[in-house]
């Protein structure tokens, strides 16, 4: 009798627990499913001067016969990266064409799994399309800041207008400005490809955990030793794969507010129109400065000043 009672108590106890056990199993299934389906979106900005094989401005200009070959190299470098990103676990890759007319990448030759943002002007220029839904950002074909040597086609945004750009006292290459745009949305830059000097500047600014893939070594501004093609394509693919699998090693590049921009132009005339804008100060014949609380607001004003300088 006592034994029978004990067994029935155990059965009643287990019966009472059953709904909780089932609920836990169901929740475990839900959380596994959501992890498996969690999107891993990667944003890729592709410039042209840092593409393998490119050493001269003619190769980056649609009016030159050399351009057609260089834009093919551009899509090949990009495809190697896109392939590696998907192999590393990316579920969505958006490529933003970021050079000149921004119509360089041959749309039909891009890896068909990727989306292509093509054409200009666009509000965020080289970073158009970025938002907080992305987990990481990759820069391909990037170049060193104005005043670097030896470095292929070094410049900052506009070779004709800009001598240097400083934000909060730091002299910025495009990769730094664009990393700060990504940082504004909480997205880290995880990989960069370009010449050896650009890779050095990227690590200096964004940290040693950044995956960099040097595709060539400059021997002057218009001459470089290009590394073996097949090796470069393999390294771009492997680098992208590695960058996705080590996402947590890198934090977004976030500058501290307020954001003080200092834009140095080549000529005094290039500052004259920009100096008319409220909030913009001309602190030297060739230098404009302004401060904003919001980084993106400052980034847009800086670009407007460069457009004004370029229109004269």
The contact set with Zn ion (CB under 5 A) reads 47-48, 99
Minimum distance from CB of 99 to Zn ion (Å)?
Answer: 4
Minimum distance from CB of 49 to Zn ion (Å)?
Answer: 5
In 3D space, the residue among 234, 213, 229 whose CA is nearest the CA of residue 83 turns out to be 234
State the catalytic residue, choosing from 56, 143, 155, 266: 155
Other CB atoms within 10 Å distance of the CB of residue 13 = 9
In angstroms, the CA 296 to CA 131 distance is 12
CA 173-174-180 angle, 5° bins: 100
Between 142 and 261, CB nearer to Zn ion: 142
Contacts of 170 (CB under 8 A, 6+ apart): 176, 205, 255
Minimum distance from CB of 48 to Zn ion (Å)?
Answer: 5
Minimum distance from CB of 126 to Zn ion (Å)?
Answer: 8
Inter-CA distances, 41 with 92, 114, 115, 187, Å: 5, 11, 11, 11
Minimum distance from CB of 230 to Zn ion (Å)?
Answer: 25
Between 48 and 309, CB nearer to Zn ion: 48
Between 83 and 99, CB nearer to Zn ion: 99
In 3D space, the residue among 239, 251, 158, 238 whose CA is nearest the CA of residue 205 turns out to be 251
Minimum distance from CB of 90 to Zn ion (Å)?
Answer: 24
In 3D space, the residue among 171, 174, 158 whose CA is nearest the CA of residue 260 turns out to be 171
> Is the previous residue joined to 193 through a cis bond, with omega within 30 degrees of 0?
no
Between 175 and 205, CB nearer to Zn ion: 175
Strands in 162-167's sheet, in edge-to-edge order, are 170-171, 162-167, 259-265, 287-292, 281-284
Q: Given the DSSP bridges, would you call strands 92-97 and 115-117 parallel, antiparallel or unpaired?
A: parallel
Q: Whose CB is nearest to Zn ion?
A: 99
Query: Is 155 marked active-site?
Result: yes
Between 88 and 194, CB nearer to Zn ion: 194
Between 54 and 308, CB nearer to Zn ion: 54
Pair of tokens at residue 1 = 């009798």
Alpha helices of the chain — where are they, by DSSP H? 2-37, 67-87, 174-184, 196-206, 229-245, 269-272, 295-310
Known catalytic residues? 155
């Amino acid at each position: 009798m006592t034994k029978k009672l004990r067994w029935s108590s155990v059965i009643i106890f287990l019966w009472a627990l059953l709904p909780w056990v089932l609920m836990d199993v169901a929740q475990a299934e839900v959380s596994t499913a959501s992890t498996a389906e969690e999107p891993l979106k990667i944003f890729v900005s592709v410039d042209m001067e840092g593409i393998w094989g490119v050493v001269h401005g003619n190769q980056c200009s649609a009016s030159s016969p050399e351009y057609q070959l260089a834009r093919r190299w551009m899509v090949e470098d990009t495809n190697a990266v896109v392939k590696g990103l998907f192999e590393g676990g990316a579920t969505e890759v958006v490529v933003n064409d970021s050079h000149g007319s921004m119509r360089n990448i041959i749309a039909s030759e891009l890896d068909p799994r990727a989306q292509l943002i093509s054409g200009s002007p666009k509000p965020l220029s080289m970073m158009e399309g970025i938002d907080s839904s992305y987990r990481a950002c990759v820069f391909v074909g990037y170049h060193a800041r104005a005043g670097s040597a030896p470095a292929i086609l070094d410049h900052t945004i506009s070779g004709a207008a800009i001598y240097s750009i400083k934000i909060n006292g730091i002299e910025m290459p495009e990769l730094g400005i664009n990393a700060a745009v990504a940082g504004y949305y909480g997205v880290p830059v995880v990989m960069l490809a370009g010449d050896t000097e650009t890779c050095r500047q990227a690590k200096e600014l964004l940290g040693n955990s950044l995956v960099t893939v040097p595709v060539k070594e400059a021997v002057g501004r218009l001459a470089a030793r290009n590394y073996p093609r097949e090796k470069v394509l393999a390294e771009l693919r492997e680098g992208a794969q590695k960058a996705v699998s080590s996402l947590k090693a890198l934090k977004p590049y976030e500058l501290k507010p307020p954001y003080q921009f200092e834009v140095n132009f080549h000529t005094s005339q290039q500052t004259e129109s920009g100096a008319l804008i409220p909030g913009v100060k001309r602190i030297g014949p060739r230098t404009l400065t302004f401060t904003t609380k919001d980084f993106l607001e400052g980034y847009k004003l800086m670009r407007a000043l460069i457009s004004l300088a370029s229109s004269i």
